[in-house]
Structure 1
Amino acid sequence: MEDLLTLHRKQIRDLQSVITQKKKSATKKTRRGVSEECESLERNLKEKQAAEIAALEGDSNPTNATEEDIPITHTENEPSDATKAILTKLEDTQLDDPAPTNHEKFTDAPKKQNRQKARLARRAAQIDEITEQAKQEAAAMPDLRAIEAARMKQLFDENNLIEIQIAPDGHCLYSAFALGLEDAQIPLSTDAEQGNDGKKRGYTFTRKAAGDYISAHADDFLPFLEEGETLDSHVNKIQNTAEWGGQMELLALAKKYAVTVKIVQATGVGVTSMNEDEGKEANVWLAYHRRGYGLGEHYNALRKKA
């Protein structure tokens, strides 16, 4: 009997090792099935060992025992007291669950907060807060575009002017000036040139005229060039690109066509004049906007009301 119990203890230890290995390799999806399998293995082993003990105990009883030697309290299938004690001991023997693996510890424990996601969330909240503050500050600031528009309308009314919209395409100064010359019935070029180039837009003539005048009077305009820029490169930009025009090009046009340029703008005195001493032919009126157009500074043509 002692040898059998020693064998049973070894079988229990071996089964303990098998169950431990199975539970370590189990995943979330297979964990339930593995647990059921382990319970079945444990149950089968206990039943097998109980049967072996019962069989061994039966073999140890004398075969020639008389009826009087058999206690009447035992039925044919009822185990003896010794067998009951051994079975009780086996019932009390439990296969301990293995210690949780690192994988199980991490999967069962509550997930740690992702630090990168937390930083991104804080950053997004900061950006939203800054954006909201900027909106509030912008709402509290005066609407400079609306202020400029109101002032320009006032100046137009005071000087009996109507505004002609010019496309904000980089040619606005030259197009507006060309329209002013046409209203004053001043030809954009010589009759021969204008006849041959009748399909060209007005700004092509005023761009060429400005570039030609600056080239012919280089000494008057060299001080106004940007640092590192040559006169030839600046003239090329005037005549062959959509480069915006400014005060220098406007002065060249005023002198080229011998007109006085009247510029209406919301800042300062409202109306400024250019080339008054030499501008005997006519007045060319221009509206200068700083804030009214998305691309920035812009010129529109002006015309006297009929």
Structure 2
Amino acid sequence: MEQIKEKHEAEKKQLQETILTMRNEANKKTKKAVNRKIIEMETEMKFRHRDEVAAFKESQEENNEDGTREGEGEDEDEEMTPEMLLAQMGLSDAQTKTNNNNKEQVLQESKKKRNRQKERLAKRKAEMEKQQAEAAEEASHQIDFRKNELDTLEVICNNQKVKQVDIIPDGHCLFNSICDQLKLRHDIPTDYKKLRSEAAEYIRQHPNDFIPFLFDEETMSIRDVNEYTDKIANTPMWGGDLEILALSKVYCCPISVMMAASKSLLINEGGVQPELKLVYYKHVFGTGEHYGSLHDL
């Protein structure tokens, strides 16, 4: 447990250093997005630390139970009937009488052991059934996040007089959504591969504008710009705020992102070309976060 506490303290310290770096390097354009990212990072760490502590405690309890079960097995293996002892040692009648008494005592002790084991098993079963019942009760009252998100987005779309357009939910969904918007609003035909390359190149040319976005939650450090942009250009890695900002600069236009949980995010508000309109889903798709395109009614 001490090792886990030390690990968590080190991660908290490193995260605070990273947050300080991100805030120092943020500018007016990136301040809101950076603050949102910081909140996500702190929340993720809080819940991850809680889960790791719970998993450790559960593992310790299982180990203790295994040790108890092994001890019980050894007691049962050591039991020997009086008849077996007589056959091996040829005891006298007097000894036989003594052994009969011992036999009764052994049987009584054995029954006590088995009864205690049954009691433990019954108690464990009752606890499991109680936990299952509580989980089922909790699940019955859980919020249907998917339905809530869809309902909220539908209301927002009706108010803004736009409709959601389906985009294949894969690692290219953000870029394919922007492709759809560029064709619709700028009359520019393109594809996700070209957009990936353009976003990567813009980030390489303007690294200081994007460093606050390049926090790696696995290594708890800032990612290498060249390594990151290579993945954006050449793999199906999912895109996000960083790539939206880059492409809004490439095409000199604002890009808005509709969300159910908060008001729409508007990136590069000063862009002179027509606004591109996207929608962000957090709960709707089983594959995880997803982007779609919005068409005017």
Same fold per superposition (TM over 0.5): yes
Q: Cα deviations across residues 92-146 of structure 1 (Å, max 9, x unaligned)? A: xxx9994227557646987342655643442332233123223323323433332
- Where does residue 294 of structure 1 map in the other structure? 286
Tell me the alpha carbon deviations over residues 142-162 of structure 1, each in whole angstroms, 9 at most, x when there is no partner. 333322211101112222222
* C-alpha distance in 2 between matches for 1:176 and 1:247: 14
| Aligned structure 1 segments of 4 or more residues deviating by more than 6 angstroms | 20-23
Q: Is the 8 A contact 2:256 2:277 kept in 1?
A: yes
Written as runs of structure 1 = structure 2, the 5 A alignment for 1:46-65 is none
Question: SS at 2:222's partner residue?
Answer: coil
Distance 1:233 1:110, change over 3 A: closer
Aligned to 1:216: 205
- Greater RCO (Cα-Cα under 8 Å, separation 6 or more): 2
Change (3 A) 1:218 1:160: same
Shift of residue 273, structure 1, vs aligned partner: 2.4
- How many correspondences in the alignment? 203
2:243 to 229, 239, 249: 249
In structure 2, the residue matched to 1:187 is 189
RMSD of equivalent CA atoms: 3.2
Distance in 1, Cα, partners of 2:189 & 2:141: 50
Mapping of residues 1-306 of structure 1, within 5 Å: 24-25=86-87, 98-99=96-97, 100=100, 102=102, 106=106, 111-112=111-112, 113=114, 115=116, 118-184=119-185, 185-188=187-190, 202-226=191-215, 227-269=221-263, 271-280=264-273, 282-305=274-297
In the TM superposition, what whole-angstrom CA distance separates every residue of 1:74-94 from its partner, at most 9, and x where no partner exists?
xxxxxxxxxxxxxxxxxxxxx
2:259 partner letter: Q
Residue 204 and residue 127 in structure 1: after superposition, are their counterparts in 2 closer, same or farther (change >3 A)?
farther
* Residues 21, 206 of structure 1: alpha-carbon distance in 2 compared, 3 angstrom cutoff: closer
User: Higher helix proportion, which one?
Assistant: 2
Q: What's the CA shift for 1:187? A: 3.1
| Contact 1:255 1:279 survives alignment (8 Å) | no
Cα shift at 1:267: 2.4
Q: What's the TM-score once normalised by structure 2's chain length?
A: 0.58
Residues in 2 aligned to 1:161 and 1:181: alpha-carbon distance in whole angstroms: 16
Instruction: Tell me the secondary structure at the aligned position of residue 111 of structure 1.
Output: helix
Unaligned runs of at least 5 residues, structure 2: 1-81, 216-220
Distance of 1:138 and 1:103 partners within structure 2: 53
Distance 2:244 2:83 in 1: 91
Offset of residue 211 of structure 1: 0.4
Note if contact 1:261-1:273 (Cα within 8 Å) is conserved in structure 2.
yes
Change beyond 3 A, Cα 1:174–1:22: closer
Identify if the C-alpha distance between structure 1 residues 119 and 219 changes in structure 2 by more than 3 Å, giving closer, same or farther: same
Q: Which residue of 2 aligns with 1:85?
A: none
**Percent identity over the alignment?**
32
Structure 1 gaps of 5+ residues are 1-19, 27-94, 189-201
Q: Measured at CA, do residues 171 and 111 of structure 1 come closer, stay the same or move farther in structure 2, by a change above 3 Å?
A: same
Kindly indicate whether the alpha-carbon contact (under 8 Å) linking 2:162 and 2:296 is maintained by their aligned counterparts in 1: yes
